[in-house]
Amino acid sequence: MVEPKVTVYGAYWCPDCRRSKKFLGENFIPYRWVDIEQDKEGEAYVLQRNNGKRIIPTVVFEDNSFLVEPSNAELAKKLGLKTEASKTYYDLIIIGGGPSGLTAAIYASREGADVLLIERSGLGGQAGITVGLDNFPGFPEGISGQEFSDRVTQQARRFGVEILQAVDVEKLEMEEGYHEVYTSDGKHYHSRAVLIATGASYRRLEVPGEDDYIGAGIHFCATCDGPFYKGAKEIVVVGGGNSAVEEGLHLTNFAEKVTLLVRGDKLTATQIAIDKVNEPTSRIEVRYNTIVDAIEGEKSKLKTIKYHYKDSDKMEAIHPAAAFIFIGQTPNTSVLNEFAELDKYGFVLTGHDLKHGGNGKDQFEPLPFETSVSGIFAAGDARHGSTKQVASAVGEGAAASISIREFLRRSG
């Protein structure tokens, strides 16, 4: 496990502490959490650093410097994350730094295109939070998602890709012959082509209490937050698909027992993963046909998950140390809303999937991976028809960049 370089001193009831933890987690920055309500030494340390004031979060860095109640922008700056581009105009702007975006960046930049890649959280996307990639060709022993992401990022930087982190793209606009990309920090950049490589996000349960305990017992990433529960008696995982089962197996490294609350009557993971759950020594219990109704806490920390069985109205309760929710994903395609054609789930239509080759306003024959807007391309999990795997996201990134090369050539 990577040794944390940052320590966050705070308390469970403190929303700014949660925000700071969320920011660090999303940017894959390992941190140590000290709850000063539980840890008297931690409390004394905070008082000492803040001239007797109990201000939280107090975030202490490797060089012993610290920030008090930092904004996300201050954290990004302190951590050396690049948040502002050096130019305003690029050949290609890639939105999303997961496997598809990073691969497209490597291909395009290596061929001499001027590329800006904008990532709102950690480079590597979903792959970066994957415990282990066992099915990516070329790594016979498997590779951790974090190491894989670091390697691809290094490769992109080697070819001169300019990368922004902790910057969210909020809006796209089309100007004469180029695109404008607006970011959450009030800036905007221009490019001839844009690649949407924004992947997908975890779906929420949308039950009362869920939002209140995110980071305080409710989590969406076992790799990031599982180690906080080392020695726990029980952890709950909600979901019965591949991610839920694999992450549930991983969480048995920390908790004595993992209970899976599964909405359906079977697991829909790979047979290998299901076999592991069914092994006699497995420490996973599966409760099928269960529906989570509410999440409750005490002292701002998760205490209870309330659920019922499909065929009963009787409310049951479970008191885990934490609950990890893995119930599928929603495509991150809001930047394209009312702009390019999406399917009914919000995935981006490209190439042959576009019914009439264009959105009606701007008729043209789209290139492979091109959306209904000329010059805007999509690859990876955000794209309709993608297969939601790292290897295929990488393949789509490469193929999309070849279409983009053709687009840039044609448009002069």
Ligand X SMILES: Cc1cc2nc3c(=O)[nH]c(=O)nc-3n(C[C@H](O)[C@H](O)[C@H](O)COP(=O)(O)OP(=O)(O)OC[C@H]3O[C@@H](n4cnc5c(N)ncnc54)[C@H](O)[C@@H]3O)c2cc1C
Bridging pattern class, strands 115-118 and 162-164: parallel
Judged by CB under 6 A, the stretch of 12-20, 81-89, 109-117, 127-135 that binds ligand X is 127-135
57-96 residues in contact with ligand X (CB under 6 A) are 95-96
To ligand X, the closest distance from the beta carbon of 181 in angstroms equals 9
Q: How far apart are CA 93 and CA 208, in angstroms?
A: 39
Contact, 94 vs 117, CB < 8 A?
yes
Q: Interhelix angle for 390-410 vs 99-110, to 10°?
A: 40
Judged by CB under 6 A, the stretch of 3-11, 41-49, 77-85, 195-203 that binds ligand X is 195-203
Among 7, 27, 72, 198, binds ligand X (CB under 6 A): 198
To ligand X, the closest distance from the beta carbon of 335 in angstroms equals 5
CA 379 distance to own-chain centroid = 16
Among 20, 27, 109, 126, binds ligand X (CB under 6 A): 126
CB nearer to ligand X: pick between 11 and 95: 95
CB nearer to ligand X: pick between 57 and 98: 98
CB nearer to ligand X: pick between 72 and 332: 332
Judged by CB under 6 A, the stretch of 16-24, 41-49, 133-141, 348-356 that binds ligand X is 133-141
Q: What are phi and psi of 279, to 5 degrees?
A: -60, 145
Judged by CB under 6 A, the stretch of 72-80, 196-204, 207-215, 301-309 that binds ligand X is 196-204
What is the rounded end-to-end Cα distance, in angstroms, of the chain?
49
244-283 residues in contact with ligand X (CB under 6 A) are 247
CB nearer to ligand X: pick between 251 and 390: 390
Q: Which residues contact 185 (CB under 8 A, 6 or more apart)?
A: 73, 83, 84, 167
Q: Does residue 118 bind ligand X (CB under 6 A)? A: yes
Q: Does residue 29 bind ligand X (CB under 6 A)? A: no
Give the gyration radius of the chain's Cα atoms. 23
**Which residue, judged by CB position, is nearest to ligand X in the bound state?**
199
Among 43, 91, 119, 225, binds ligand X (CB under 6 A): 119
Q: What are phi and psi of 15, to 5 degrees?
A: -65, -35
Q: Which residues contact 76 (CB under 8 A, 6 or more apart)?
A: 23, 27, 83, 165, 166
Q: What are phi and psi of 347, to 5 degrees?
A: -75, 150
CA atoms within 13 A on the CB side of 6: 21
Q: Does residue 6 bind ligand X (CB under 6 A)? A: no
Nearest to 200, CA basis, from 220, 214, 178, 180: 220
Judged by CB under 6 A, the stretch of 66-74, 98-106, 289-297, 308-316 that binds ligand X is 98-106
CB nearer to ligand X: pick between 135 and 363: 135
Q: How many residues bind ligand X (CB under 6 A)?
A: 35
Element (DSSP H or E) covering residue 219: strand 218-219
316-345 residues in contact with ligand X (CB under 6 A) are 332, 335
Contact, 323 vs 218, CB < 8 A?
yes
DSSP letters along 334-388, please?
Answer: GGGTTTS-B-TTSPBP-GGGSSSSS-SSS---PPTTB-SSTTEEE-GGGBTT---
CB nearer to ligand X: pick between 165 and 259: 165
To ligand X, the closest distance from the beta carbon of 326 in angstroms equals 7
Q: Which residues contact 18 (CB under 8 A, 6 or more apart)?
A: 214, 215, 216
Contact, 37 vs 216, CB < 8 A?
no
CB nearer to ligand X: pick between 197 and 295: 197
To ligand X, the closest distance from the beta carbon of 243 in angstroms equals 4
Element (DSSP H or E) covering residue 298: strand 290-298
Among 42, 57, 99, 240, binds ligand X (CB under 6 A): 99
What is the x/- site pattern for ligand X, positions 375-404, by CB under 6 A? -----xx------xxxx-x-----------
Question: For binding to ligand X (CB under 6 A), which residues are involved?
Answer: 95-101, 118-121, 125-127, 130, 133-135, 168-169, 197-200, 243, 247, 332, 335, 380-381, 388-391, 393
